[in-house]
Amino acid sequence: MNFLSLFVLLPLLMILTLFMTSNRKQVLGTMVAGSTLLVILSAFLAYRYMAARSDGATDPMLFTASLSWFEPLHIRYAVGVDGVSVVMLCLTSLIVFTGTFVSWKMAPLTKEFFLWYCLLATGVFGFFISTDLFTLFLFYETALIPMYLLIGVWGTGRKEYAAMKLTLMLMGSSMILLVGILGIYFSSGATSMNITDLVHISIPLEQQYLFFTLTFFGFGVLGALFPFHTWSPDGHASAPTAVSMLHAGVLMKLGGYGSFRVAITLMPEAAEKLSPIFLVLTAIGVVYGALAAIRQTDLKYINAYSSVSHCNLVLFAILMLTQTALTGAVLQMLSHGLITALFFALIGMIYSRSHTRLITDMGGLMKIMPFLGVGFVVAGLSNIGVPGFSGFVAEMTIFVGAFENDDLFRRILTVAAVTSIVIGAVYILRTIGKFLYGPLQNPEHGKLDDARWYERLAVITLVAAIIYLGSFPTGISAMINDSFSSMLQVAR
């Protein structure tokens, strides 16, 4: 048994244990133990991966394993990781870990909440380790279903509407995705579903056009591709805190990850030809999300639109098809995952105290809750790409990478995307200025308390990760970059 499968087994084991728990304490104990193990496991994986690479392992995917599952269709349970998946696995385990602490006071139905939460995590982890198209899709669906219940049951506001909208839109896109995946399978000669094999087979160009569009679109909707992003603001705004974190932080990254792992890698020629159309969409999405965020007053909506902008930037970078831009895209996925999780965590904490998320109803909270306030400022500054935080590294890599394309069209789009760093500054500073700074607006808020230990733990973990990535990006960036060089070589 390959140790990568532990990433799936461990959450499943957590689910089993949760079934047997009988009180809150046991539930939380299971979650803390399990998620800590996941963090340790991902750290171990990162260590093993880097050790293997420095020992000269040159395969595109390491730690591969493949078990027969349904042979007539060549469906196998195949796993394997490269630098990109390692990074995403680390991110996921971090978010699951912090999400646990953020949901410390989750009620009612604590046990059930964490059950679905673990199932969601199972899907995400499984997605990132899979190299088989079908298992990939299976895990993808596994991650989507719990979302509906998590939002519909434990959400706030218009939760039924949001849950329905989110699930329907994502299901619709995954239906298209399934057609695309089957299309790839059959047009490549129906010999294998394994991505590592499929990259060696070139698919006829006419079919590439169709299936690239289908798969990229299918994954793109999850990555908030403009104009199919509207599930995301509503979904995020209604979801409970930990789910928002996991969803914006990790689940939306499934879109970006999938679109290059499947759409770009397997059909590079079509990607080259069709990328201008999607580039225009994503570039619009980058600016559009940022501009829409300016007008919002609900903290969660602000961050949700900001996520739309940043996730479109991920897709934008992927479509630029240069190694640097792809590296930047992965860095941006990682960075945005951490930042947006931090944002949602803080928003949840503030909301649980002030019982409002409208920035117009708050003011001067910095004095009342300095820890949360400083955390929010840090999150805000990293969101707009201040050096020293992860956002800067990611965005700069993307912009430099995007500029490597020597045509005016892509240059202009890049410049348009660059404007988002200014618009980002506008909405973030406006938000911070409105609800953290200034005089205390609502005297009732004067009695609120600052973060508890479990909240501090979550915030500090995320901030530390953001600063680490922003200050010492050399190793991580090189690891991702190497994965792409081997991947692009195979593709050509």
Partner 1 sequence: MEYTLLILLFPLTSFIVLGLFSNRLSHKAAGIIGTGALLAMTLLSFYAAWDYFTTPKAEGFYQTLIPFNTPWLHMGSHLHIDMGILLDPISVMMLVVISTVSLMVHIYSLGYMKGEKGFQRYYGFLSLFTFSMMGLVLSTNIFQMYIFWELVGVSSYLLIGFYYTRPEAVAASKKAFIVTRFADMFFLIGILVLSYYTQTFDFGTLMSGNETIFQHALSTRFLGASALVWAMALIFIGGAGKSALFPLHIWLPDAMEGPTPVSALIHAATMVVAGVYLVARLFPIYVAFTPEVLEGIAWVGAFTSMFAAVIAIVQTDIKRVLAFSTISQIGFMMVALGVSKLEGHEGLGYMASLFHLFTHAMFKALLFLGAGSIIHAVHSNEMERMGGLRTYMPVTHLTFLVACLSIAGIPPFSGFFSKDEILAAIYGYHTGLGIWMTVAAGFTAFYIFRLYFSIFWGKQTQYAHTPHESPRSMTFPLIFLAIPTLLGGFIPFGHFVTANRSVYTIHPDWPIMFISVLVSLTAIFIARKMYQYAGTKTGEASSGLKGFQKAAYHRFYVDEVYLFITKKILFNGIARAFAWFDHHVVDGSINGLASVTDWVSIKIRGFQSGEIQWYAYIFLFGTLLITALFLFM
Q: Which residues bind partner 1 (CB under 8 A)?
A: 165, 168-169, 227, 229-231, 288, 291-292, 294-296, 322-324, 327, 364, 366-367, 381, 384-388, 392-393, 396-397, 399-401, 403-404, 408, 414-415, 418-419, 421-422, 425-426, 429-430, 433, 436-439, 473-474, 477-478, 481
Give the whole-angstrom CA distance, residue 191 versus residue 198: 9
**Whole-number minimum distance, CB 450 to partner 1, in Å?**
11
**Whole-number minimum distance, CB 288 to partner 1, in Å?**
6
List CB contacts of 268: < 8 A, sequence separation 6 or more: 321, 491, 492
Give the whole-angstrom CA distance, residue 207 versus residue 203: 7
Identify the residue whose tokens are 């299971």. Answer: 30
**Whole-number minimum distance, CB 111 to partner 1, in Å?**
33
Q: For residues 241 and 307, which CB has a smaller minimum distance to partner 1 in the complex?
A: 307
CB 338 within 8 A of CB 465: yes
Nearest to 177 by CA among 216, 207, 147: 216
**Whole-number minimum distance, CB 279 to partner 1, in Å?**
17
Nearest to 342 by CA among 472, 244, 445, 231: 244
Give the whole-angstrom CA distance, residue 417 versus residue 284: 8
Q: At 299, list the tokens.
A: 């903290």
Nearest to 310 by CA among 372, 232, 240: 232
**Whole-number minimum distance, CB 424 to partner 1, in Å?**
9
**Whole-number minimum distance, CB 330 to partner 1, in Å?**
13
DSSP 66: E
Q: For residues 172 and 276, which CB has a smaller minimum distance to partner 1 in the complex?
A: 172
Give the whole-angstrom CA distance, residue 310 versus residue 233: 13
**Whole-number minimum distance, CB 230 to partner 1, in Å?**
4
Q: For residues 191 and 485, which CB has a smaller minimum distance to partner 1 in the complex?
A: 485
Helix axes 83-102, 453-471, angle to 10 degrees: 160
Q: For residues 28 and 469, which CB has a smaller minimum distance to partner 1 in the complex?
A: 469
Q: How many CB atoms lie within 10 A of CB 282?
A: 27
